[in-house]
Chain A
Amino acid sequence: MPLVNDWRYLSREGPSSYDNVGPTFTVPVREVWHVLSVWVEYTASDTAATRQIRLVVQDDTDDIMLEIAPGVTVTASQQRDFLFAPGAPDLTSARDTDLIMTPLPAALILRPGWDLVISEQSSGDTTDSETMVVQLTYARMAVLSTDGSTPQTSDN
């Protein structure tokens, strides 16, 4: 168990099954995560449609704290890889036909109870036959308290 305020480097694979929300990572209580990279292997079904994926961060009451959209969409039967990381370029076409890189904020911090979700904004296939394999690398810091996971209002 690391000491409070020490950063420990970890990685985590997203769930293999998920509902229409998309693969979700939830920060445990008494931890803060600094997200270093998110890798998404996306395979679309053969149903005709344009898919948009989005990285969404929500607080512990599911208020949206931020969203990041890659610059490229996916159509039927395509397999595309997405990398989200600080410092990555903001590509608006797939490189070598299959790789899209998108920058993340330099310090993407998730507090206790927050979620990081890879979400489909529009999907051609409601039967969930599309797949997303998600790999997350992050630094984890132990904290003594979960206070403040729900944002304060600006006057308190």
Chain B
Amino acid sequence: MPLLGDWDYRSREGVLESDSGAWSLFRVPDHEVWHILSIWVEAEATATAGTRALALTILDDTDDRMYAARPGATLTAGQQRDFLFAPGLPDLTSFRDTDLLLTPIPAGLILRPGWGLFIEYISGFDLVDDSDATSDIDTLTIQIVYASQATLSTVGGTPQSSDN
């Protein structure tokens, strides 16, 4: 367990949810602050026609949107594409070597206690499992690398208004 004020380097794999959309949510535990270092997304689309767009959204502890980023390219039916979000990367608008897209995020992307990091398909996705043999929906495999710092309090997870 790190001392208060120490950064502990961690990583975490997402769990794909697909009830009303295809998405994965990472929620910062109480008494922790996260500094996001990189986000790796492997997206695989089914053969169902549609242009899939991805979005990265940061939510506070009441699910207000604090930040959003969108990669510079989409994927279509039957494609498998990899997306890397990290500080200092170029903002590519076409896939490099056919399958890899790089997108920058802020160098100081800090998530406070209770905040969420949300990756989702925002359009064109296929959530209809129309295969008898195996699951047949669009998928996302997500790996995040982050630094975690212990905090004594969760106060401030909800942003203060400007007059208090």
Contact = CB atoms under 8 A, between A and B. Distances in A.
Main secondary structure of the interface of B (DSSP, over half): strand
Interface size grouping (class) on chain B? 20 to 34
Contact of A105 (B13, B89, B143, B147): B89
Interface residues of A, number: 33
A93 B84 CA distance: 22
A127 interface: no
Main secondary structure of the interface of A (DSSP, over half): loop
Contacts of B26: 154
B88 A152 contact: no
A21 to B, nearest CB: 17
Contacts of B96: 69, 71
Contacts of A73: 97
Given A54-B97, A87-B88, A154-B13, A67 B25 contact: no
B157 interface: no
A71 B97 CA distance: 9
Interface string A97-117: 000000111111101000000
Interface stretch (B36-44, B46-54, B62-70, B130-138): B36-44
5 nearest A-B residue pairs (beta carbon): A105-B86, A90-B90, A106-B87, A151-B11, A151-B13
Interface of A: 5, 32, 52, 54, 59, 63-69, 71, 73, 86-87, 90, 103-109, 111, 121, 148-149, 151-155
Interface of B: 6, 9-15, 24-27, 35, 37-38, 40, 42, 82, 84, 86-90, 96-97, 100, 102, 107, 143-145, 147
Given A63-B13, A109-B145, 7 more contacts: A64-B82, A64-B143, A66-B38, A69-B102, A105-B37, A153-B14, A154-B13
